[in-house]
Structure 1
Amino acid sequence: MQATAIGTLISNHPLGWWLAGLVLASLAGPLALWGLRTVRQRGGPLLQRTLPMAIDPRWALLAGMLGAACAMVLAGSVIAELAESGSEQDGDWGAVDDAIANALRLHAATGVLRFFATLTHLGDTAVLTALTALVAAGLWWRGHRLLAIGWLAALAGNGALTRILKSIFERARPEHLHHGVAQADGYSFPSGHSSASMVAYTLLAYLATRLLPPRWHVPCVVLAGMLVFTTGWSRMVLQVHYASDVLAGWLLGGTWMVCTVLVIESVARWRHRGDVASTTAA
């Protein structure tokens, strides 16, 4: 009964919930930016007081890689739980998934569907592939080789992980009757649009914090959060993905992006300390 009420509420007000989600997403961006700045400003002194990492810069790289591995293991366990619960008719997520999909299939207006069918292109493979190539070329041309490699590794790695998980779980997509508005092939879990947009747009915001003046940082992270939420929400409203597919996609993409940032920051610190040591020795 509760799941049915949730489905009806979302299907009756998809635009309203989208706008509310945009507000929350716009708040999440500055919070993540604050966390990143805290790590950058206080992480160095804290590590110098507590760990031998400051003595040997290789420890910083090792710590970053271990942190990334732990994050992926934790995210993997949550994703597996989402997949199991969502695949069972009487599971918590299974009931919610079916209720939302069924309510949207019956009540979503064609105009609303066409609106979100336009927005969903933010996560299309063609769009993100072009974006990936342009950003990588720009970073390489400007001499930011580490950032260019990290950017390419993040997008390519996320794509490979998404395909692997889809082949493992083999979840069918929800039945949707609006084939003239939106179509999708392949398996459903996790949502590739959601994970890819999470990696691409949040990592772009991270690059902005590295390369642009501070006045651009907050607008960039706010915009990234809104784009990520819009892409994922559109997949659910169009009924080409279940709600748990979108959540798993966000979790996968967000974790992979954090892992990428951890490694980039660790390598950058390692290289910086190596350069300082070389200069001091000279």
Structure 2
Amino acid sequence: MIAARIDRRARRVMVGIGATVLAFLLAPAGAARAADGVPVPPDGAMTDTGSGPLSAADRDFVVKVRLAGLWEIPAGNMAQEKSKNPKVIKIGKTISGQHVLLDKLDVGVAKTLGIALPNQPNNNQLGWLAEMRAANSTTFDQIYVDRLRAAHGQIFPAIATIRASTRNDAVRKLAQEANQFVLTHIALLESTGLVDYGSLPTAPPPKPNAGPVPVDGQMLAAATSSGGGVSGVSTTVLLLVLAGALTAGVITTMRILRAR
């Protein structure tokens, strides 16, 4: 009598465990829990040996990073001298100092890859600096914020293109680092409350049936064929095999308990 009760109880326990595990295996995967705070891209695993083909776009990007520092460093210095707004003064000092660091990173990459860099701003940048020099303390802040915010908005998508497409590891790392600098500077400039968003260029309209992100045929074929699972094996088949093994284990355990 007691043995029969134990057998029935053990059977119910094992069936319950089996059902729970089986339900877990067959349940659709839910969304991962969001991490607290916004993640910072890790760069510890990135290399910058200069290995990989170097494209014309890569070379142009390294030159543009250099050009950005050649005019934004003196512009930030002028902000500290001409502005009467403590926030603009602090932001000018921060952006100028960070461009000194970014310039060192860029010069190092250029040296590794044998890319010749300019030593003077281009004509447009010289014009912006002249405009700032001519401004008084009342008009300087708006000119400074407008010119830098527009320039950062132009190079931002260029950085993303290089980061996503370059085959050279040194350029890839520089693009990731430059992206973090640019995002920081955009946020700083916008924190002044002086950005004229209406004057900024708008994004081009999406192409019909293009989707939110451009994907080439090779990427699409790989994604649809693999499905994110084990190559050549259906996820459903794997789950059914696991469920079968679990059921067999439950039955075997019940038989052992019954024999006792």
- TM-score tier (shorter): 0.3 to 0.5
Normalization by structure 1: what TM-score?
0.31
Normalization by structure 2: what TM-score?
0.33
Higher Cα Rg, which structure: 2
Relative contact order (C-alpha < 8 Å, sep 6+): which is higher? 1
Higher-helix-fraction structure: 1
